[in-house]
Amino acid sequence: MQRLFSRERFGRPQILAGLLLLAFVAECLWLVAHIPPGAVSSEEFTRVQQGLAQWSGKSIAGITSGGSGEINNRGNDYDPDHSPLWYLIEAAPLAIFGLDLTSTAGIWLSRLPCVVIGTLLGASLWYVSRRLYGNVGGYIALGLYCFSPAVIRSSVLWFVQPNIAGAWGTFGAVFTGIAVSHTLYAPREVILWNWRRILLLAISLVLAVGSRFSLAIVLPLLLVFMLYVAWERRAAATAIFFASCGIGGFLLLLAYRFQWKTFGHSLAHAKWMEVSGPALAMSRVWWLVFREIAESGPVLVLLAPAALLGYALWRRPRYFGNTAPLVVAILFIVLRAGSPHETDSVFGLIALVFLFLFIAGIAADCLETRFREVATAVMAGLLAANAIWNLVGMAKIRL
């Protein structure tokens, strides 16, 4: 216990980050309390009912059964976008307490898993940004995250689908893979020593792919990152990658109640790629993406272009710790532009989280120059203004 609360593990940085996360939770609870009556859509009600049916052992969520109870093999009987895990997360607390979405308590409980996952994603973002860029970088990334309307809406399902688990899984997969690759240079048995990180990577992958099949696109990107970081231990990195994929596949099979045939047919009918080539050539689609980013915090309209310009013109920030989040952010921005018909895309949410990390990295580099005092004042002012803008907007919400 004394080691757990030592200054190295729990000090001022952790306290400040905890206060920011408490503010984030308070914003989420405020928004849940102001969900208008009748806000539960028929789509959400159906989604939760399917999750509850699987928790009770009646069926598998997202898969249509015939009148005899047998699961058909037609493509239209399977949800092409989501595995049963997507349904089970939201319905879990309701199944525990025996409630549904027809009561106020049921609505609160249905939001609880996403609020918890959103908070854990914020904690993960702070941990990674602090390890990469120091305490200041951690505060910047977490400050942008905790006062982002898009993140808060996703964490309380405010007229959006439950995408936050997929975002957390993708973020965790990328940086757990990078972290485990760094440890390959330690003079120990590679596979056995890293079993905890392998399991964590597997859980991240199943959260991502289980929430949205098309998030499997992170797998080849993750392998590239792992091989780049552990270039001298390529065989070990590859073995860890496939071991994590194997464990992740087993955990995903668990969501199908170990029904191999159903699992196989579901994957066969899954939609693994959602990019529309013609959409990428339409200017109004890119304007839509820009508007979504701006609505996630007006400060991003200034900070994102400034960070990109600094990365392009300044040699100092062009290292792997900044390049990796930039590459992932660009990838998911392109995916978002390629699927413009979705009003609440998981791709846009993931791009936003990695964009926060990239901005924090460039800002942390600026704060280490001889213009530190000016940069600190500007950054603090922008973050404070962004937080106030978000809080004022939330205060205008009425029951």
Mean pLDDT, consecutive 10-residue stretches, the chain (399 aa), reads 51 90 96 81 90 91 60 68 94 92 89 96 96 94 95 92 94 94 71 78 96 95 94 88 94 93 91 81 86 88 93 92 95 90 86 96 91 90 93 80
Residue 239: strand, helix, or coil: helix
CA distances from 126 to 106, 113, 175, 254, 340 (A): 31, 20, 12, 31, 30
User: CB neighbours of 311 closer than 8 A, spacing ≥ 6?
Assistant: 317, 318, 322, 326, 358, 362
Predicted local confidence at residue 67, as pLDDT: 36
Predicted local confidence at residue 69, as pLDDT: 40
134, 133, 247, 239: which is closest to 184 by C-alpha? 239
Q: Where are the alpha helices (DSSP H) in the chain?
A: 12-33, 42-55, 84-97, 104-146, 149-156, 164-182, 190-193, 195-211, 218-229, 234-255, 260-268, 277-280, 283-295, 300-313, 320-337, 346-366, 372-395
From the centroid of its chain, how far is CA 130? 18
C-alpha–C-alpha distance, residues 187 and 193, integer Å: 10
Q: Where are the alpha helices (DSSP H) in 80-148?
A: 84-97, 104-146
C-alpha–C-alpha distance, residues 144 and 298, integer Å: 10
Question: Sign of the CA dihedral 88, 210, 296, 340?
Answer: negative
In this structure, the chain runs to a length of 399
C-alpha–C-alpha distance, residues 212 and 154, integer Å: 15
Place of tokens 């390529």: 234
